[in-house]
Amino acid sequence: MKTVSKGKGKKTKIAATEDAWNLRLYVAGQTQKSITAFANLKKICEEHLAGKYKIEVIDLLKNPQLAKGDQIIALPTLVRKLPEPIKKIIGDLANTERVLVGLDIRAV
Amino acid sequence: MVKKKHDAVLLEKCPTGIKGLDEITKGGLPKGRPTLICGSAGCGKTLFAMEFLLRGAMDFGEPGVFMTFEETPADLAKNFISLGFDINDMMSRGLIAMDHVYIERSEIEETGEYDLQGLFIRLGAAIDSVGAKRVVLDTIEVLFSGLSDSAILRAELRRLFHWLKERGVTAIVTGESGEKTLTRYGLEEYVADCVILLDFRIDEQISTRRLRIIKYRGSSHGADEYPFLIDEGGLSILPITSLGLDYPVSSQRVSTGVPKLDAMLEGKGFYRGSTILISGTAGTGKTSLAATFADAACRRGERCLYFAFEESPSQIIRNMASIGMDLAQWVKKGLLRFHSVRPSLYGLEMHLLTFHKVINEFDPQVFIVDPISNLSAAGSVSEVKSILTRLIDYLKMTNITTFLTDLTRYEGSLEHTSEEISSLIDTWLLVRDIELNGERNRGLYILKSRGMAHSNQIQEFLLTNQGIDLIDIYTGAGEVLTGSARAAQEAGERASDLARQREVARRLRAQERKKNALEAKIAALRAEFDVETLEVHLMAEEEQKNQAVQAEDRLNMAQLRKRGPSAPRTLRSKKKTKG
């Protein structure tokens, strides 16, 4: 609960920035994996995309119909909506190297 | 009975609505449990699953969810419309929910721990959206190619099946056949309640689909391989091997259409619902006999289904017209239906299914296959036998009189069918050609006919422009003659008979004359005798008279000699006075 509300707060702050990385994190409730995933994502974003990202956390327990749209099967799943193309990273994002590869952040 | 009840209590079943499957599984798939359908590519898994779902929604009021991992809903809808299922319509009516799960490995990066809760949520949402009682996952194995962590996958699949059971939905999970295992990723490990294998084999360029229930926990089921068919009506399975021998029999008789053949069969013909086989070499008139039987059935107002494997309907009609039979009228009246196909057109199972389908549609009283021997072109002897056994059993169950013709090869024994079905036959007629004196004639006899005292005579079988006729063949003087030889022999016999009769008459007349002469002679002798007798009598009379006269003379003389004074005087005076 704490993490999610934090994220939401972050999101609203970042929304103003133009050069946006639009990231969406799908989770199902407050599980250990979703908390870990969010924490890991936050850390990576702060390190590599400070000031130009926004994170949207979607709890599928609350909005199950949203799972279809982004073809969510595994949880947690991080979807990079922007910049295009859409990328998907599943897991608790513990492996930072692979998250960076997955988000294509190396180049930055 | 008790066992049945027990079964029902133990395991509730979910009817599939697929033709034949509910009979094999004795009621359907295990209700509220997952069932695995496995098989190689193109064996009909998706169709099976879809039909289960659609029939559930349409016929059993159980909405369903189809989760497809391969084909898109649009493709599926397009594919199934050709089978008569309008998926889009059913989706709009809220009977079916579809979800396409798309996984592309290259688009997904795996970074640590995850689970498949997303899939659960989606499935759950879909189930809730239509209140589904049935779920299909087609084919969940795609997950294995989409995600690399198989340990997680396996754990999650186990959880998924458990979850499905908890939700109480009857699920079908499809899986592709593996090389050594039933499915490539060992799904059978998780779905332990019911496993059905679909098989698609090609033998000699003819394909046959087969279905087998590998396991069905908590229920008895048919264990054989059942052929099934995919056609415009969806899937149909033939559980015919499960038929028993307890069919009802009829003692009603039906005419063969040939009065003299009826006469050979106690004067009444075949039993209704019996199986009749007529075998013979080429050109012995099997088709004509079959057509005559069909004609007779239609005359009685019965419906007759004629499966022709050699000739087209119009050709049969034309040919039968040449022996005075008008089959076209029955076709027009809807009493006779021809079904002409080449036996090699499709596999035996398909033939059997076609038989079934057409029989169910047309509901005939008489069913003719001409000839069954051609079926062997579509399969091996044992397969043909199995097919025919099942067909005949089915026909007997429905009390349809079956008339089969069988073409016997020249090299084979006549009393042997190429399909080895003789034991299934109730009445077996044999037509054979008898070659004699440069002629080829046909002979017909009854090899066997169960349950009736039939004739043991060989009859000469004639095809005339008035139809079929049977004639007693000549069997005198220790030889069997047919055709013109029979006719000549008979004519010769008639001539000698006549001569003999004349001779007898002549002798009789001679004897008569002799008798007359004798009688005349007797009469003459008798006359002579009578004359003599008369003479003798006359002589005797004369003699008597003479003696009487002499006696008087003597008396007179005596009187004259011994004249006394008184008496003789008075006498004399008397005389004198008198005089």
Q: What are A43-59's pLDDT values in tens digits?
A: 988 888 888 888 899 99
Answer whether B471's CB lies under 8 Å from B462's CB. Answer: yes
The domain ranges of chain B are 2-242, 253-473, 479-553
The domain ranges of chain A are 2-103
Query: What band does B218 get if pLDDT is binned at 50, 70 and 90?
Result: confident
Tell me whether 0.90 is exceeded by the ipTM.
no
Query: What band does B545 get if pLDDT is binned at 50, 70 and 90?
Result: very high
CATH of domain B253-473: 3.40.50.300
Answer whether A90's CB lies under 8 Å from A77's CB. Answer: yes
* Nearest CB partner across the interface for B111, out of A28, A65, A95: A95
CA nearest to B366, candidates B297, B425, B270, B301: B297
Q: CA nearest B140 in A: which residue?
A: A73
CB < 8 Å to B117, chain A: 28, 60, 74-75
Segment 84-103 of chain B within 8 Å of chain A by CB: 99, 101-103
The pLDDT value recorded for residue B258 is 87
Query: What band does B414 get if pLDDT is binned at 50, 70 and 90?
Result: low
Say whether pLDDT at A14 is over 50. no
Does the CA dihedral B19-B21-B27-B31 come out positive or negative?
Answer: negative
Q: Give alpha helix (H) positions in B232-312.
A: 259-264, 286-299
Would you call B114 and A77 a contact, using CB atoms and an 8 Å cutoff? yes
Answer whether B123's CB lies under 8 Å from B99's CB. Answer: yes
Answer whether A64's CB lies under 8 Å from B121's CB. Answer: yes
Q: What is the nearest CA distance from B122 to chain A, expressed in angstroms? A: 6
The pLDDT value recorded for residue B112 is 82
CB < 8 Å to A94, chain B: 111-113
* Nearest CB partner across the interface for A92, out of B107, B112, B122: B112
Domain A2-103 annotated CATH 3.40.30.10: yes
CA nearest to A98, candidates B146, B147, B111, B114: B111
The pLDDT value recorded for residue B419 is 59
Length of chain A: 108
Whether A61 has its CB under 8 Å from any CB of chain B: the answer is yes
Segment 72-101 of chain A within 8 Å of chain B by CB: 72-77, 86-95, 98-99, 101
Higher-pLDDT residue of B565, A4? B565
d(CA B57, CA B52): 9
* Nearest CB partner across the interface for A89, out of B109, B119, B122: B109
Q: What is the mean pLDDT of chain B?
A: 84
Would you call A64 and B125 a contact, using CB atoms and an 8 Å cutoff? yes
Would you call B109 and A33 a contact, using CB atoms and an 8 Å cutoff? no
The pLDDT value recorded for residue B548 is 92
The pLDDT value recorded for residue B566 is 53
The pLDDT value recorded for residue B204 is 65
The pLDDT value recorded for residue B539 is 93
Answer whether B29's CB lies under 8 Å from B188's CB. Answer: no
Whether B106 has its CB under 8 Å from any CB of chain A: the answer is no
As assigned by CATH, the class of the B2-242 domain is: alpha beta
